[in-house]
A and B are shown apart, each in its own frame.
Chain A
Amino acid sequence: MLQRLALALGLLILGPALALAHGPTPQRADETLVIAAPPEAVWAVLSRFGGIGEWHPLVKKVEATGGDAAGAERVLTLEKGEVKEGLDELDPAAHRLSYRLLTENAEAIPVSFYTQTIEVKPDGAGSEVSWGARFYRADTTNEPPEDRNDAAAIAAMTDFIQQGLKGLQAKVTAK
């Protein structure tokens, strides 16, 4: 009985900490796409941090605060729930932006933390867009269920990036 109580208390204490925690083993996903538009045109769309809902097919709604500068935040509504992201760096000279997950939601996307960096480089008359993410699986214990393991996290992030790149391409090249 006492043991059970101690266990319950232990879980209570652990509870809030787990919401912030991520495991020790990161994963990554990297995709690139060549878009037939100059880097400036791609960057004009990409650099509006709150504008992702206009081109990313998986983003249903965006609520953004803080503009397009480091410290800005946005809440993305995905099919199965919301995640909150924070902008860390927006470098117009390098055409590069970098942001991180502030509030996780394993239902919406099965990861416990990520940073993502998107960079636009010239490619002939067009642009090469590189989109990379570094992240941790949703369940960071050593026995994660199938929908919250490394493979699930990699599949979800890869899909999010691929669809994002295609959506960005469609938006930028639309006549």
Chain B
Amino acid sequence: MKGGAAVAGPGDGGENAALPPLMRTRQALARLAFALLALGPFAASGPARADTPAPLVAVVSQKAAELSLVDIDAREVRAVIGLAAVPAGLAASADGASVYVTHPDLSLVSRVDLASGTVAATFKVGLEPFGIAVSADGRHLLVSDWSADALIRLDASTGAETGRVAIGHAPAGLVVDEKAGLAYVADRESNQVSVVRLADMVRLATVPVGRAPFALALSPGGERLYVANVQSGDLSVIDTGATPREIARPKVGLMPYGVAVTPDGRTVLVSNQQSGKLAIVDAETLALGPAQPRLGTFPEGITVVSPSRAAAVDWAEDEVVVIDIEASTILGRVKVGTSPRNLVALPRGR
């Protein structure tokens, strides 16, 4: 993964800048299509490519109703795809071909085909679909329904509901541990995390956490779950063993809305919406790092893009913020459509 991180550099941006906007998009899509092809079955046996795919994140902008694909290294928008109104949550399929987006106000989920840069399908789902995840094989979607208080499973190709389990009030973020066959959902208004077994969609446990849990992230091995509690301003650390339980709850700042874990599992990044700051937590000591760089005015989602890079969105300033994890600094900002809420790193060749 590390080897693949040195990429199409700033020179790329210069060459693109000379082209008219449509051409830039075409070129970006062509490059993207290439990147996606490179993920296919032949990639492993082929010779190493000089032109490894750039680290891309997909960003949903609530007001602009669009999905932006942003190159984190070049710090440029590579493509913009129009969506239905008020996109909120998103997830990428493991093959990097599709991004699924929730639209809570429309009771809708969109499937975006990245190769063609179009919305390939929309599904009516529940009442207010919010958090979303795709199974590793790409066949199932999991969606939290904010006002139905449920976790819903869908057939990813047809959107047909294939399972449903009642969980707590206002379920928000969700993460899936494929190896364990479990989903963890932050039940925001119930101040708990629901643990759901995916095989039969049965809730196995609830774990009490801080006030208003919203986003969550798993350690690389899945043995720890980190939950950002918006109202109490802390981070619930959950041991996901046989009986999942909270083992610590350090304070992290004002209104933590996003959480991400580095690939080595040693650092937890938290975006604090109300203070606008990035909190950096040592996963072993759970101590808060001294550096708290300012992400922006109302930062929300945060994701790790590579061992050295993370990215967050600033909902109020309409920016993707690129973070140097090691140095605890902000490397740059990329303007995207109005009110970006969340983002996801797109899978690429490993």
Does A26 interact with chain B (Cβ within 8 Å)? yes
B127 touches A134 (CB 8 A): no
Cβ of B274 and Cβ of A17 under 8 Å apart?
no
**Looking at chain A, what size class is its interface with the partner chain?**
20 to 34
Residues of B within 8 A of A107 (CB): none
Chain A residues with CB under 8 A of B329: none
Chain B residues within 8 Å of A141, by CB: 147
A19 nearest CB across to chain B (Å):
10
Contact A25–B275 (Cβ < 8 Å): no
Are B274 and A23 interface neighbours, CB within 8 A?
A: no
The number of inter-chain residue pairs (CB within 8 angstroms) is 61
- Report Cα–Cα, A166/B189, bound state, in Å: 37
A98 touches B275 (CB 8 A): yes
Give the docked Cα–Cα distance between A28 and B273 (Å).
13
Give the complex CA separation of A167 and B57 in angstroms. 44
Shortest distance from the beta carbon of A161 to any chain B beta carbon, whole Å: 14
Cα(A140)–Cα(B170), bound, Å: 11
Enumerate A99-129 residues with CB–CB distance to B below 8 Å: 100, 115, 117
Are B275 and A132 interface neighbours, CB within 8 A? Answer: no
One digit per residue, 1 when the CB lies within 8 angstroms of any chain B CB and 0 when it does not, for chain A 18-50 equals 001101111010100000000000000000000
Check if A88 is an interface residue, CB within 8 A of chain B.
yes
B145 smallest CB distance to A (angstroms): 10
Chain A residues contacting B172 (CB-CB under 8 Å) are: 24
Q: Considering the complex of A and B, which 3 residue pairs feature the smallest CB-CB distances, nearest first? A: A24-B104, A24-B146, A17-B169
> Which A residues lie at the B interface, using CB under 8 A?
17, 20-21, 23-26, 28, 30, 88-89, 98, 100, 115, 117, 132, 134, 140-142
Chain B interface residues (CB < 8 Å from chain A): 62, 86, 88, 104-107, 127-128, 130, 146-147, 169-170, 172, 189-190, 254-255, 273-275, 297-298, 315-316, 339
